[in-house]
């Protein structure tokens, strides 16, 4: 029996190199947007990273690009309140979305950026894939289900990226993987592979780089 949602295979040497060149080359912060009207022109392949607050988005973007502070990491949930755009060469936009779920911010601000998140996901024509980050220690939670359902409704393909793999004991991994796979089977927009990562240890970074480069 074929297991649903297997882990993406490690890339071959050529794919690994394409990913490295794209993601560690000319990657620059472009702008932060707080309104849809502030977004840059939809003139290139766009991929984005979504995840609940403190799932490790900034750390993952920094690991992918080989930069320490390209994306600003914060220990304060909900610190990122903008859609942050980065250019990768002349072919890709990398987009860091506001964290969803719990946030230490006034309720009107939280609601405003959640509306912006929903508008972006539903209305960006060049968006090729959303990488939804899930903390490997916790699996898919109810707050994650909300964004996965939104992606289903928006017909936007998403791929699950498990973060902080180094924080999980080997004995606990299979139960978490089973929970994630079971949850994903309910979502028609889910890409049928999972990527396991650790920004701290470098696990899965080359694989994710290669996947992004292939979306060009």
The whole-angstrom separation of Cα 68 and Cα 80 is 17
**φ/ψ of residue 4, rounded to 5:** -70, 150
What one-character-per-residue DSSP string does 55-106 give?
Answer: SSHHHHHHHHHT-SSSS---SSTT---SEEEEEETTTEEEEEPPPBS--SS-
Q: What is the pLDDT of residues 91-120, one digit of tens each?
A: 999 999 888 765 566 778 777 877 888 889
Assign domain 13-214 one CATH number from 3.40.50.300, 3.40.630.30, 3.30.420.40, 1.10.357.10. 3.40.50.300
Residue percentage of the chain with pLDDT more than 90 = 68
Per-residue pLDDT, 154: 87
Q: What is the mean pLDDT of each run of 10 residues along the chain (216 residues)?
A: 88 97 94 91 95 89 90 55 89 89 69 81 90 97 90 93 96 95 97 97 97 92
Q: What is the pLDDT of residues 67-98, one digit of tens each?
A: 888 876 554 444 557 889 999 999 999 999 88
Per-residue pLDDT, 17: 97
Q: E strands along the chain, which residues?
A: 27-33, 45-51, 83-88, 92-96, 127-135, 158-163, 190-196
Per-residue pLDDT, 122: 81
Where b means 16+ CB within 10 Å and e means fewer, 90-119 reads: eebbbbbbbbbbebebeeeebebbbebbbe
CA neighbor of 212 nearest in space, from 75, 109, 63: 63
Angle at CA 91, nearest 5°, toward 133 and 96?
A: 25
Q: Any idea which residue has 């960006």 for tokens?
A: 124
Per-residue pLDDT, 39: 94
């Amino acid at each position: 029996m074929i297991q649903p949602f297997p882990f993406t295979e490690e890339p071959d040497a050529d794919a690994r190199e394409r990913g490295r060149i794209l993601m560690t080359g000319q990657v620059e912060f472009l702008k932060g947007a707080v309104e849809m009207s502030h977004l840059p022109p939809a003139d290139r392949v766009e991929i984005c990273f979504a995840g609940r607050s403190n799932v490790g988005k900034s750390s993952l973007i920094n690991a992918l690009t080989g930069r320490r502070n390209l994306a600003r990491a914060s220990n304060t949930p909900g610190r990122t309140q903008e859609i942050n755009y980065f250019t990768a060469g002349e072919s890709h936009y990398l987009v860091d979305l506001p964290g969803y779920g719990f946030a230490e911010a006034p309720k009107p601000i939280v609601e405003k950026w959640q509306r912006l998140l929903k508008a972006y996901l539903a209305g960006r024509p060049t968006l090729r894939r959303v990488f939804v980050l899930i903390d490997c220690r916790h699996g898919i939670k109810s707050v994650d289900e909300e964004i996965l359902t939104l992606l289903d409704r928006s017909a936007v393909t998403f791929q699950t990226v498990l973060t902080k793999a180094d924080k999980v004991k080997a004995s606990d991994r299979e139960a978490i993987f089973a929970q994630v796979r079971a949850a994903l089977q309910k979502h028609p927009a889910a890409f049928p592979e999972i990527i396991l990562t650790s920004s701290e240890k470098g696990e899965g970074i080359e694989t994710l780089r290669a996947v992004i480069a292939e979306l060009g």
